[in-house]
Structure 1
Amino acid sequence: MDQRTLKPITETKYLSVENAWRYRAIMRFFYISVQQYRLWLHKEDVFEHLRREAAFQDYTLELCLQDLEALREWRNLNAVQDTAKVSTYQQFVNKQYRYQMTEYAIEIERMTLRLENLFIEGSSLDPTLLERIKEALRRLPEMLTSDTNVLGGWWQQLSHDFQRLNQDYQDYLRDWSSARAEELMKTKSFLLYKEKLVDYLRHFIKELQHHSQEIEGLLRQVTPEMQATLWQRLTHYEMSIPRVDAEQLRAEDVYTNLQGKYQSLHRFFQGSAARESEVETILTMTNEIIRRITRYAAGILEMSSQYTSRREEYRKIATLFQQQPTLDAAHQLASQVFGLGGYRHFAGDLVRETESIHRSVYEEPPLFHRLTPRVRQYREKMLKTAIPDRQAEQQAMREQVLAQRRQEQAVLMNCLQQGEIAFETLGVIDPSVRRSLLTWLSRGLQEQGGIAITEHGLKFRLANPGETRRCRLESSDGSLEMPAYVLDFNVTAEDTRMG
């Protein structure tokens, strides 16, 4: 921060001193005169204007001169001696001054007008600003080679549209997130324009999603070289404008300011690695407002329906009962209007033949439920049944499993060629043999050194000679691609100790 940021602003002192009402009236008259291109005023002009107001009936010319001098000391007014109509020495000594507003004072008074009309003007969500920003960014490559004055006008329009978009959406969403809006949403009068507000927000969301994607694509096409060229040419344009305080304007400050504005535009639509874009924030906040509006509206309608008189409904029902020809017909109508007078629920493990909701209960099969006495001494009779002898079946199953194991062992022994099994030379094998081989392979992979033992007591070493060489293990039910492992069964006692 430099000294300009840290020093006090004396020009705003007239807004909060003891006689602020007099100073503010004088400054407002000067501001209106500036808008009408009356840049210089005499004390008599100010005095005559103030005397027209009821609050200044006791105001004097001497007091007016004191107020003007106080404003001049606070640098709100510039004073120049008017010597055009001086004809005597006495008139020259009395120093007739003309007064003019300073630039600071004009901006301060403009700010006070903005504050006074803050809740009168209101804010809005204008989708046309997005479209204008998109069209301006589309012309960026063309602007880099155009005349400097054309480039400056293009940038000022783009900056103004982006500033308006940023400020308007913040003001509008802030208003609908305030406590005052919360109270408004709880009133019945809010229902009258609820749909209009929701349509307005949804239209803005739709336009924002459409244009923001195109703007994001255009920003991605701008290279760092194009950005540097843009900032340099705009800095040259700003420095070429004649100004009163041109000596205090530095090219480095202008360049940094332009760079910051462009990066703000970039972050607004694209975001950064640390946080999401401002567009995503707007969409989230707008959707949240729509949800709150809908929730409050539903609550208001529910509360209203609780206290609605149902006299007309009861009268209509009474008329329907009166029109029934017989008592039995009235009973049938009562069952439809009020439901059954008394009914029972029966629960059971009913297995339905269909899931249709239109099937009548009379079309369902009957459900039988056995009732038992409700006495403590009641016990279910236990049916005594003999335990069947399944020893023969178990023996047959055991023989079948052993025969299958012997067959697998015989096939595996046939696969042993010179004390090893190479997966790439097995050919087509049975799925049961493949299952046993893969089990042995898994054991070898789990053991340190690759030495494991089969369920038949045979030791083997797992090896993969080619390391990266692969093979295809074919079976009757499919093929398996795998490394060309080798199960070496020539394992000595020394190998076992080393493993």
Structure 2
Amino acid sequence: MRLFSFAVAEKRTEYLSVLHAFDAARAAYVVLLHADDVARWIEREARASVELTGAEIGPLLDQLHRWGVLERSYDGTRAATLAEYRNRHFVYQFSRAGFQAYRAVAGVLDARLDEAALSRLVLPELLADLETLAEVNRAGDAERVYRTLRRLDAALTDMAARAAHFYLSLGDLVRTTEITPESFLAHKDTLLAHMREFSMDLARFAPRLAGAIAVIEETGIADLIERAARCDERVLLSQAQRQADWHARWQGLRTWFVALPAADGSGAEQTEADRLREATMSAIAAVLSLLRRVTETRRGGVSRESALRHLAGWFMAAPSAEGAHALFDAVFGLGRPRHLSMEHPDAELIPPGRSWWAAPPLEISRTLAETGRTPTPGAPARIQRNDAGVRRLREAQLAAQRARAAAATSLAAGDVHERTLDERETEVLLRLLDAASTAWVPVSGRVDGTTGSDSGVTLTVSEHTGSTMVRTTRGLLHLNQRKLEVRPTRRGGRA
């Protein structure tokens, strides 16, 4: 952590200007710099906020060297006279660890924390790369297999990082109490449209990406991993280590779009794409709730800011200090005694029912008086775990998953238009329709067929002449020019 001392030092602005100069020189293929050279680079750089001379830069360079950020070497070629030769002439350059420390600090300073967006356009690129990967693996082109796998890994990593950043920023926006109605209302339409389009694209592309992964697995995953590891340029890793690394990356990519069987055999687990889509729908609901709160605040004119302003006015209008203290006690409730539940050790001398107004003061520990916490000598108490309750909840959750998986299997066993669906089958069908409806996008005045996946089955909604009807225990479901087809979701090249 000593490497980061320049970021919190008293002259941190000067240290950052010096390191910016080293970074700019490094980009121009100049590695070694003297103090005078650093001064010239600082003048050349527009981002420098201070002006430093060579004499002022010398102590800064020495301190950076002591912290390990810079490495120092002697340069006698700069001496033009004997007096200059007797003086020390040092040149400096980034140390390996020091450059990483500077880049970390510069990355934080240059980051735009408000630039958060979901990576919607990466989905068609993932599909195209998966189709290309199947072709090159079938052809045995090891170099293209390696390059395509690297692109897929980088694209998926970027997508996951963008999603995590977006939802963190959105959570901060939803939880904040300092929301400005004007700034939020100016962007709420764009924000909702952005999340809705991402959710629809994710629902539309997820089955196609799962199918592309199944095609790749039919061409041979072992050969794919072996070819990628053979062309991997990390020579310090053995062939077995490279194969294990690429196998782990492929499994990570696969779990994003292909549902794996549950460990207990109760159907299929959710994919990362399904979890991301559910998080997007929850975020849309949170944004709508925030919009309703902002709208009500603007309509009623009462907010935390206005309430605090009124309270500040009451304090200013208090006739005396005693009145201000009474107002403080009434508003914040901090003037009352905190230790009313304590009892005197001698219950006969001071009965518990006696009012604390009439009872003598009770001696309490210093910890309780200063922090409000009762002192607990000795080792911490053992945590009481309700294992039986947790086990019951887990068993109920697994039973619900098994029942839903069984209902989904029964639903996919026959035509949904030719029989009456029971309660469980109806619930699964409605969940599938909800997933498919998010991808129901009009194109050129019509709606193409769409799909939705859940509990190991896939619903396909296709065009149909006339109307169709589904009979359920809850009633009749009429569909206008649409036909439903439910089939098991394809996994790993097997139907």
Greater RCO, CA 8 A, separation 6+: 2
Larger radius of gyration: 1
TM-score normalised by length of structure 2? 0.50
TM-score normalised by length of structure 1? 0.50
